[in-house]
């Protein structure tokens, strides 16, 4: 078996993402054959070297799990929470260690991917991969064509300029506008902050697609395994 980078070995095992693996390595929590290694690029041989994190052996995961979940409101998309709020991991209930690919905020719903494939997670969440994400959004406030035009071109929030996006008006009832919003990035609470910039409040936000992967009729709180074609599609995206 060929040698690979230490951080890649850890992420491939499903233990964590490559980014988090880097932090573990830099913090001196990873050993190779009993010796602390602080270089993420250190070469290890999966068939011979013994890698451990905080004394716990890391074993290469051969059978990766890929799941689509319809996230409900009031669930966090991290494994643990300081306020002891329920996690999306609780909804899946598998014994295998899996974790979300990216995030949906606490009050948002819709399509969320979970996997133990750390390498795929790293690539899908890396800023250089512009995979479109489609959301159904309900906004309350005075939202006119001029504001939508500014949002689609990109605006400054939190010290950065958002990338151009697509916004289509689906309808309006009693000062609530229903929109389809497609963005190619996913910063923290980005869509909510985009509309708040113009004094418009997002009252509902649901992700319905990631690229060609669609939520479809999957019920709220339920999950399913991705098909082989869907997994292949994700890997082709990167």
Residues taking part in catalysis: 105
**Any idea which residue has 């060609």 for tokens?**
212
The span from the CA of 151 to the CA of 56, in Å, is 48
> Cα separations (Å) of 170 from 70, 81, 135, 181, 210?
22, 36, 12, 10, 19
Task: With H, G, I as helix, E, B as strand and everything else as coil, classify residue 35.
Answer: strand
Radius of gyration of the chain (CA): 20
- Which structure tokens are listed for 174? 């009693």
The span from the CA of 185 to the CA of 163, in Å, is 8
The span from the CA of 15 to the CA of 231, in Å, is 20
């Amino acid at each position: 078996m060929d040698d690979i980078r230490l951080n890649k070995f850890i992420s491939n095992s499903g233990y964590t993402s490559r980014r988090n693996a880097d932090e573990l390595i830099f913090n001196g929590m990873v050993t190779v054959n009993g010796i602390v290694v602080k270089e993420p690029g250190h070469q290890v041989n999966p068939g011979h070297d013994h890698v451990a994190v905080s004394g716990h052996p890391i074993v290469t995961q051969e059978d990766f799990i890929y799941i689509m979940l319809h996230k409900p409101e009031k669930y966090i998309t991290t494994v643990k929470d300081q306020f002891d709020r329920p996690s999306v991991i609780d909804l899946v209930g598998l014994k295998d260690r899996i974790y979300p690919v990216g995030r949906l905020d606490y009050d948002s719903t819709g399509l969320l991917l979970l996997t133990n494939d750390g390498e795929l997670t790293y690539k899908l969440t890396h800023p250089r991969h512009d995979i479109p994400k489609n959301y159904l959004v309900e906004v309350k406030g005075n939202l006119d064509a001029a504001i939508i035009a500014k949002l689609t071109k990109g605006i400054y929030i939190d010290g950065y300029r958002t990338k151009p996006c697509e916004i289509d008006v689906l309808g309006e009832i009693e000062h609530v506008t229903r929109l389809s919003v497609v963005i190619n990035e996913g910063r923290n609470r980005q869509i909510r902050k985009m509309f708040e910039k113009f004094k418009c409040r997002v009252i509902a936000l649901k992700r319905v697609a990631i690229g060609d992967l669609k939520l479809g009729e999957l019920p709220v709180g339920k999950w399913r395994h991705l098909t082989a074609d869907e997994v292949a599609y994700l890997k082709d995206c990167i």
